Structure 1
Amino acid sequence: MLPAVGRIVTPDGVVNGTLIVEGDRFEGVLEREGAPTGWVLPGFVDVHCHGGGGFSLANGDPDSARGAAAFHAAKGTTTLVASLVSSTHEFLLGATRALRPLVADGTLAGVHYEGPYISAAKCGAHVVEVLRDPDIAELTELIEAGRLDDGRGAVKMVTVAPELDGALAAIEFLDQRGVVPAIGHTNASYEQTAAGIDAGAQAATHLFNAMRAFNHREPGPIPALLDDERIFSEIVADPVHLHPGTMRFAFDTSLPAWTLLVSDAMDAAGLADGTYMLGRHEVEVLDGVATVAGTDVIAGSTITLLDAFRNAVRLAGQSVEAASQMASATPAELLGLHEVGAIETGKFADAVVLDDDLNLVSVMRRGAWLAL
C-alpha cells in the first residue's frame, strides 16, 4: 500500500504526497506535508519478455501467457509484451492468433517477433534452421493475424537484421504499418545499420548483445545505433548480459529518454536453478544464468524489470527518476502505449511502491492492489 507520504515520480518531477485514483485511472497527486518514506513509481513496461515464474510467453499458449503476465505484474511490470523467438511461419501465425485475445482484454500489450529475420552469425539462442530473409508476404499475414476487432494491432515490434536480403524493404513496410522495426541479432556493418535506420528502424534489440562487436576501424552497429536520436536502445540491465560499466556508458550516452530497460526474461525468472525450455532449445540455469544446454550461449535472463531497475540504480549509478523513466515512460513511448508509463491524470492507475532501499512494498494495476 501507499506510504502516508511518499516520493511520487511524475513527468514533472518528484512530488511528496499521495496518489488520487478514480476507478482504473489516475486523477492526480495530492501534495502533502511530512517526511516522505519510500518511492511511488509508474508501473513498469516490459517490451521484451519471453516468460517468468515457470510460465512461457514464447510458446503461444494463452494460459501460460496469463501466468507469465500475473507473475511479472506481481513484481511491478504492469504492462507486458510477449516476445516470440524465431520459428516457422505457421507457428508464429498460430501463436499470434492465440495471444490476440489477451491483447484485446489488456492482459498483454502486444506481441514482439524476435526473429526469424535475423543473422545466423549472431543468432544467440535462436534455432538456425528456421532463420530466413524477411518476407513481406509473411509479415502481412502476421500483422493481419494480430488485428483486433477495434482495429488496433497486436503486433507491436519485429526484430530484423538489416544486412539480410529484403531487410530494408521489410523495415520500411513495418514502419509504414505502425509496427516498430528493431535492429538486432545482427552482423551488420556501420553503413548497413545506418541504412536500416534510414529505412525506418526505431529501436535496438538488447543493444550490445547478439551484435557485431565494436572495433575502432570496423565500428559495426553499436555506435550507429547509440548515436542516432531516431533509435531507442533496449538494455538488459543484469551483470550477465552487460558489465556495469557498459550499462553506465549506454545510459549516459543514449540518455533515459532514448533508453529502455527490458528483462529478456525466460520461464525461469523467479525460480530455482534447473532445466527449462526457450522455444525449441533446452536451457540450463545455474546460479541464475540461463544458457543453451551444453553451451555458454546466453538464453535470455532470469531477472524481472524490477531487478533491471534496481541494477540501473545500484550497479550503473542512475538516479531513481532516470531508472524509472527507462523502465516505464520510454518503453511506453516507443510502442505508442499512451495510457501507461507515467503517473499522470487520465492514464491507467499502474504504480509500484518501493521502500527507501528499493524493496518492493506493493503494486497497483488498473487501480487495484495486487496480491504479492
Structure 2
Amino acid sequence: MSGGSLRVTGGSVDVTIAEGHVAPTATGGDVLDARGLHVLPGLLDLQVNGAAGIDLTHEPERLWEVAAALPRYGVTAFLPTIITSAPQARERALAVLAAGPPAGWTGAVPLGVHLEGPMIAPARKGAHPPRWLAEPSADLVAGWSRAAGVAMVTLAPELPGALDVVTALAERDVVVALGHTEAAPEQMTAAADRGARAVTHLGNAMPALAGRLPGPVGAALADPRLTVGVIADGHHLHPTTVAAFAGALGPGRLLAVTDCTAALGMPDGPARLGDQAVVVREGTVRLEDGTLAGSAADLPACLRVLRAATGCSLAEAVASATTVPAALLGDPSRGTLAPGARGDLVLVDDDLTVVATVVGGRVLHDRRGGR
C-alpha cells in the first residue's frame, strides 16, 4: 500500500513520506496542503464491530469494505471485532483476514481480529446473544494466536478455567482484555498476573464502582499494568464518569475506542449486531429491549467528547487513539510521525473534523477534493 513520495506541508508539522514510511527529507513527489490544520498520526481503533451498514460478525466476508470506509473518519488501522457468535463466524473472519485484500484495494489496515466473547459472564453479556456464550477452555481457544490473526480476546476472568486461558493466550502474543465481567478485584489482579493487559469498555457490562465493592472498575483503575478502553461517545458514559476515569488512568493508560457498529455513517433506523436486530436512534444503537448495543460514533467524535469532559489537551486526547493502542499491540511503527514510522496520518481542524487521511503514503480521503 505504499506510494512514492508525499510531502505534507503548512500544517502543525511538516511530514515527508517516502515509500510508505515517514522520511527525514525528500524532494519531488506530491504535496498535500495542511495549512491551518493539525497533522496527527493515523488513528487506531481497537473495537470496530462494523461500519457503513456492514456488521462484521454477520458478514465477516465484507471486512475489506468496512476497512475501506474507515479512512474518512481518520482511522488508518483497526481491529475488526467479532462478538459472541457461532464458531463459524470467528472462523470466517480469520479466513478473510488471512486471505488478504482484493486486488487494488485501499483502506485502513486490519491488525488482527478482536474476539469479544464468547467467554463472558452471562449476567454481564450486554448485547451479546446468550445462546453462544461459552466457558473458557483449552479446546475453545486452540489455534487462537497472534500469528493466526487473533490480536485481542475479551473474556471474564472469574469464569471457571479463565486464568489458564489467559496464560495460554498471552503466551501466544494475544492481548487479553478483561470485560463483560463481575470479577472481584482479586480475580482481576490474578488475570493480570497471568498476562492480561487490557480492559474492555470500562464502566459498561460490569458492576459500578462502590466504596466497599470496587469490582472490576476499581481494579482496572488501580492496576498500572492494565490499559483501559473507554467509549466516550456521549452515551455509554456520563461526562463526569469520563473525567473521573481519565483522571485516574492518566494519558498513558486511557484507550479511546468507538465500539462502532454497522450504524457508523448510516441514518437512523434498523440495523444489525451479529445475528440480532438493533435500532439506531439519535446517536445510540440499542437492542429492541433498550440495551445499548455498540455505538454509531466515529473516533474523532469520541476524542471530542473526551476533550470536552476532561479539558485535556489535543495531544493527550490524540494519544489515547495513537500511541496508547500502538503500545498495547506492540507496534512501534504506528501512532507516531517519527522517521521510519508508517506513513499514516490524518489532518484535522481545531474541532477534530477530519479533512484528509493518508495510509501508507497514499491519500485515501480528502474532503476538499471529494474523496
Q: Where do 1:348-359 residues align within 5 Å?
A: 348-359=342-353
Provide the secondary structure at the position in 2 that maps to 1:222.
helix
Q: Equivalent residue for 1:155?
A: 150
Provide the secondary structure at the position in 1 that maps to 2:98.
helix
Q: Equivalent residue for 1:93?
A: 91
Partners in 2 of 1:318 and 1:328 — Cα distance? 15
Q: Where do 1:1-372 residues align within 5 Å?
A: 4-7=9-12, 17-28=13-24, 37-62=36-61, 64-102=62-100, 107-143=109-145, 152-293=147-288, 295-371=289-365, 372=371
AA paired with 1:304? D
The CA RMSD measured in Å over matched residues stands at: 2.1
CA contact (8 A) 1:60 1:98 kept: no
Partners in 2 of 1:2 and 1:358 — Cα distance? 21
CA contact (8 A) 2:21 2:360 kept: yes
Partners in 2 of 1:170 and 1:252 — Cα distance? 32
Partners in 2 of 1:29 and 1:219 — Cα distance? 52
Provide the secondary structure at the position in 1 that maps to 2:14.
strand
Shift of 1:29: 7.8
Work out the number of aligned pairs and report it. 350
CA contact (8 A) 2:7 2:17 kept: no
CA contact (8 A) 1:60 1:99 kept: no
Shift of 1:264: 0.3
CA contact (8 A) 1:3 1:38 kept: no
AA paired with 2:261? M
Shift of 1:78: 0.3
CA contact (8 A) 1:93 1:141 kept: no
CA contact (8 A) 2:180 2:206 kept: yes
Provide the secondary structure at the position in 2 that maps to 1:185.
coil
Shift of 1:103: 8.0
**Farther off after superposition, 100-109 or 355-364:** 100-109
Shift of 1:351: 0.7
Partners in 2 of 1:246 and 1:102 — Cα distance? 40
Partners in 1 of 2:362 and 2:182 — Cα distance? 45
Normalised by the length of structure 1, the TM-score is 0.89
Partners in 1 of 2:175 and 2:265 — Cα distance? 29
Partners in 2 of 1:217 and 1:103 — Cα distance? 50
Shift of 1:233: 0.2
AA paired with 1:65? L
Provide the secondary structure at the position in 2 that maps to 1:40.
strand
Shift of 1:4: 4.6
Structure 2: 5+ residue runs without aligned partners?
1-5, 27-33, 366-370
Percentage of pairs with the same residue: 34
Partners in 2 of 1:354 and 1:37 — Cα distance? 9
Shift of 1:36: 7.0
Shift of 1:97: 1.7
Partners in 2 of 1:162 and 1:61 — Cα distance? 27
Partners in 1 of 2:93 and 2:52 — Cα distance? 20
Structure 1: 5+ residue runs without aligned partners?
8-16
Compared CA separation, residues 103 and 333, structure 1 to 2 (3 A): farther
Shift of 1:194: 1.6
Provide the secondary structure at the position in 1 that maps to 2:236.
coil
Normalised by the length of structure 2, the TM-score is 0.89
Provide the secondary structure at the position in 1 that maps to 2:318.
helix
CA contact (8 A) 2:56 2:274 kept: no
Shift of 1:2: 8.0
